[in-house]
């Protein structure tokens, strides 16, 4: 049986959007250099946060199944914009940089 995940995004004003998942709300915005008010992260930054969290959950799941102790996990991700022409049509990004940093007894080969 599949599970349905629901989120709701509501435009508040200017470049501010409130996003809600379950009972959690988050204010999204653009930085001032992109004509925003910088009151929250950009959606693309939140997408990277979600990606990093998903990777950590996957490693924790695998470590648990393999009975491997992990003392720490950190995901550092950076992205580069494709190019300005593409950004006019789509805010998609490319070229992920920086690998996952795993501390202590768990090694990724």
Residue 15 has pLDDT above 80, yes or no: yes
pLDDT at 9: 94
Instruction: Of 109, 44, 49, 93, give the one whose Cα is nearest residue 74.
Output: 49
Distance CA 101, CA 70 (A): 12
pLDDT at 86: 52
- Token pair of 67, please? 């009975």
Give 32's DSSP letter: G
Question: Mean of the pLDDT values across residues 55-61?
Answer: 91
Average pLDDT, the chain: 80
Q: Which residue has the higher pLDDT, 18 or 1?
A: 18
pLDDT at 103: 47
pLDDT at 71: 85
Question: Is this prediction's pTM over 0.95?
Answer: no
pLDDT at 62: 92
| Residue showing tokens 């080969």 | 109
At 97, the pLDDT band (50, 70, 90 cuts) reads low
| Residue showing tokens 């695998």 | 62
Distance CA 91, CA 71 (A): 36
């Amino acid at each position: 049986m599949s599970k349905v995940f629901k989120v709701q995004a509501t435009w508040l004003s200017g470049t501010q959007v409130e996003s809600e998942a379950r009972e959690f709300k988050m204010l999204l915005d653009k930085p001032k250099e992109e004509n925003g008010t910088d009151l929250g992260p950009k959606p693309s930054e939140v997408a990277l946060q979600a990606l990093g969290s998903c990777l950590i959950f996957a490693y924790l799941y695998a470590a648990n199944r393999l009975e491997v102790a992990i003392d720490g996990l950190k995901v550092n991700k950076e992205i580069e914009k494709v190019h300005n022409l593409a950004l006019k049509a789509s805010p998609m990004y490319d070229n992920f940089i920086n690998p996952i940093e795993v501390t202590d007894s768990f090694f990724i080969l």
